[in-house]
Amino acid sequence: MESLLGLLGAAFDQVLSAGIVAAGGILASLMIVVALDVVLRETGHDPLPWALEYVQYGLLFITFLGAAWVLKKEAHVCLDLLLLRLSSKSRHLLESFNSVLCTLISACLTYYSAMLCLEQFTSKSYQPTPMETPDFIVFGVIPLGSFLLTVQFIRRASKNFLLWKRS
């Protein structure tokens, strides 16, 4: 059982790594599109009509594809003024509780955003913009990223709970 969990954990880490690589690729493409759009404007040509929309979607995708990886690396913004004053045991207990609470929140976000995407898919709704992107594609990254966050928060809660027990 322990080896299966280790294998699943390694596979999940690979998914997180793929998400952050995809987010990096999207960021690189956003820089190119914005630079190209600026050059076109400054040289008297028409700007790219889809550039703003592409940047908006790209920022959404970067956020949700990279969030769980950032959490795994503990690289997120954290107000740790209180945490630094606590003992190691208390800190791990508080971090575990925080992760359980965040698990519930991200699980709710996963569920409700998945239901919204399903509704958007069945209704064939789309963005009335130059790209005319189907809504379920635009917002589909939210349940995916939220699910990854949910799993990572569970892992984080488990890790901190075990550290609390050992302290």
pLDDT tens track for 100-143? 999 999 999 999 999 999 999 999 998 888 889 999 999 999 99
Q: Along the 167 residues of the chain, how does pLDDT read in single tens digits?
A: 778 888 999 999 999 999 999 999 999 999 999 999 999 999 999 999 999 999 999 999 999 999 999 999 999 888 888 888 989 999 999 999 999 999 999 999 999 999 999 999 999 998 888 889 999 999 999 999 999 999 999 999 999 999 999 98
- The CA-based angle 108-111-115, given to 5 degrees, is 140
Q: Select from 72, 70, 74 the least CA-distant residue to 152.
A: 72
- pLDDT for 96: 96
- pLDDT for 4: 87
- pLDDT for 47: 93
This model's pTM is above 0.85: yes
- pLDDT for 130: 86
Spatial distance between the Cα atoms of 124 and 121, rounded to a whole number of angstroms = 5
9-31 b/e with 16+ CB inside 10 Å = b? eeebeeebeebbeebeebeeebe
> What sign does the CA torsion over 124, 127, 129, 131 have?
negative
- pLDDT for 77: 83
- pLDDT for 73: 96
- pLDDT for 80: 82
